[in-house]
Structure 1
């Protein structure tokens, strides 16, 4: 038995792990590398394995850094089943189609710009789409869904169970039992992305009591989140101070973060902490994801179900506008004050939020609220790091708007929550691999597991990209 780390090793994106056990080979996730142009170009490299020899895929959740290369995997010969939860499939349908649309549109625009005589883009390297909408539709036919807490066998030597990870709708922890040729069984647990306990809407991550081998995420393995009351106090202060003269722009992931922000604004309105307010959800993908969220109402926690049941009564004061049409989005960029604009992408590297930042970043009366993880190389990360000059849509912009980082909104568990989840194991796994984090965060969590958790007698490793380990 062997596991090879083909992504999300000492980096946050590109989750992809190859497991070879007995007479089968399968992947846990097959995600896209996100970040700057150099990072994204890694997606065009050939897979380090033969897609035709992969028997099946286990998908932990829908985010593109976990699912975004599945259509390309199928393009290059993979034809086996992809197993995931029902809610994840509904979200994947939205996200992969949007990903294909963005790639095809960007390719067309780049080609048109490069064809113009004396155009400044004519020497730029034009990247073709990784896949098209047709490729996505082909890939979607390979999906099979399994409910939480239900055992299934994708192969004679493998048994799997999905457990609620509390990260986004449908996100799963994987429990995988692998049996070798001698009849010995080893249990592998892959955390996927774990949610922060006590967060709104979703249930807390399911505790797991045993594993021989553990893959644990470490996105925030070196830090703690600000508590939610303080986070909401800051959000209220920013909104109240800004909307009289300017706009509040919130770059938000279309899946998970947008729905959580809607929830929190509804809650603040119900508590009388916000006056009349216009909130614009300017992202067709976020609107589609919100509809998927409503469909899976049974996955909400009790508090969220109660609040959303009262939502219609609150919309007289809190006016939520869903913006789908391109022309309406263009009109929204001309609004000078009084708007809270929630728009994708969450890392400010694509999508409609670019246009809203273009119009508002240079205005000192406006505010930008960063409410999620920002990968290295992205515009969002540069804003968080305090960069004062950025280039958007061909223009150099001096950042005059205030930039606020609200860490309490993160859908990822912080270091304390990760350690608390790991504490549920009755004994330390024989081998633990700390993944899905930048090198510093992964090393910090590995050290904490050894020292604070008392796992020093077991093997705790931060794997490098492409490294392989015997199970």
Structure 2
């Protein structure tokens, strides 16, 4: 039995892993490479034959895990795609939005078309958490990963071995969703490492920092721009801002959600209360009249009108790493204004515009123009939907076995640091795969 690593190796995006024995081939995730220097890989042929895949398992709907599924179908995939019901709902809106971006934002050519997306959706079979699917003698079970709505950790009982793919692991005590639920047994574990070398600020501390940043910006007469992922981070922010107003920590502020995708995703979140934690359920059952002034910005013309607002606006828009989407235009009109603030609440991959801003570059290229960065830049790590080092180590503590671990979804220095922490605390054997590497397992 072999496991192949085709993405998310010594980098954060492009999740794609394949397991095979003599008769079965299983693919876990098929995601987009989002770092500038790796985007060319999205256009290359797959390093495996899509027609020979027997089953695909999708951990969650974020594009770095899912967005190449239509390309996979286009090149011959005909098997079932297994994922949770909520992920299927999110995947539909996200794939169509990704195609729209490819058509509108200077891609060399779209990677696929609408028909390929419809075929992906037809091939999906949903599997709720904690239910077991038997496929050709392979047992597939999904656990709640707590990262975004429907996100899953995958456990396979394959050739008598338990193989676990963590997917992206969420936070403990984070708003809306339940805490991550780790499997208790694994012989082999493919583990994400995005924040494996650091500890996030506490959530309450981060909320206080966010509220103070908003107040300071409004006192200076500026706007707050928040680049946010449409699925997950945006819903968390709306929940947190709403709760802050209800608690009297903020005045009822104007929040402009400039993302039709985020609006659709929010509706899908609200349609799956069975996945909410107890606090979020109480909030749903006891709505308050005191809340943020939320404006859904639907059309491009409505988005352009926001450029005339010079103060006291919170604008939430994608993409979360500032690689495209409407946030680009809001940065263009606000980043050179000293009275404004840009608040980053999520991971910024190397090579992205967001990373360049976070790293303190004094000028950045936006829409073909070099613009000075004069706005105040905040990076509030406590809002990350990824577990930090200590939370990942705690997640590992639930395992009753001693798995061999393959560390993925992290930058090289982060993975090396996390490898040392795991080996020191648990003594587990850790591997750091290269792209296109293969390991014999079982």
Q: What TM-score, normalized to structure 2? A: 0.98
Of residues 380, 401, 421 in structure 1, which corresponds to 2:375?
Answer: 401
Q: Specify the alignment match of 1:225 in structure 2.
A: 200
Q: Specify the alignment match of 2:113 in structure 1.
A: 132
Contact residue 101 and residue 132 of structure 1 kept, 8 A: no
Q: Specify the alignment match of 1:145 in structure 2.
A: 126
1:98-177 matches, cutoff 5 A:
98-106=97-105, 110=106, 127-153=108-134, 155-177=135-157
Q: Specify the alignment match of 1:190 in structure 2.
A: 165
Range with bigger deviation, 366-375 or 270-279: 270-279
1:19 aligns with 2:22: no
SS at match of 1:290: helix
Of residues 391, 408, 430 in structure 2, which corresponds to 1:460?
Answer: 430
Aligned equivalents of 2:38, 2:435: Cα separation in 1: 13
Aligned equivalents of 1:248, 1:96: Cα separation in 2: 29
Q: Specify the alignment match of 1:258 in structure 2.
A: 234
SS at match of 1:376: coil
Cα distance per residue 1:115-165 (max 9 Å; x no partner)? xxxxxxxxxxx6111112222122211111011100002x31311001100
Of residues 419, 435, 443 in structure 1, which corresponds to 2:416?
Answer: 443
Q: Specify the alignment match of 2:65 in structure 1.
A: 66
1:271 aligns with 2:252: no
Aligned equivalents of 2:206, 2:406: Cα separation in 1: 32
Contact residue 187 and residue 401 of structure 2 kept, 8 A: no
SS at match of 2:417: helix
1:54-453 matches, cutoff 5 A:
54-106=53-105, 110=106, 127-153=108-134, 155-179=135-159, 185-244=160-219, 245-315=221-291, 318-429=292-403, 431-453=404-426
Q: Give the gaps of 5 or more residues in structure 2.
A: none
Contact residue 246 and residue 288 of structure 2 kept, 8 A: no
SS at match of 1:224: coil
Contact residue 51 and residue 78 of structure 1 kept, 8 A: yes
Cα distance per residue 1:199-229 (max 9 Å; x no partner)? 1111111132111111111000111101112
Larger CA Rg, structure 1 vs 2? 1
SS at match of 1:223: coil
Cα distance per residue 1:181-203 (max 9 Å; x no partner)? xxxx1110111000011111111
SS at match of 1:263: helix
Contact residue 243 and residue 340 of structure 1 kept, 8 A: no
SS at match of 2:426: coil
Range with bigger deviation, 64-73 or 200-209: 200-209
Aligned equivalents of 1:269, 1:34: Cα separation in 2: 35
Aligned equivalents of 2:252, 2:270: Cα separation in 1: 25
Q: CA deviation at 1:312?
A: 4.5
Cα RMSD after superposing both structures: 1.1
Aligned equivalents of 1:134, 1:386: Cα separation in 2: 42
Q: CA deviation at 1:168?
A: 0.3
Contact residue 191 and residue 217 of structure 1 kept, 8 A: yes
Aligned equivalents of 1:432, 1:160: Cα separation in 2: 19
Cα distance per residue 1:406-430 (max 9 Å; x no partner)? 000000000000000001111311x
Range with bigger deviation, 379-388 or 204-213: 204-213
Aligned equivalents of 2:140, 2:340: Cα separation in 1: 49
Contact residue 193 and residue 217 of structure 1 kept, 8 A: yes
SS at match of 1:452: helix
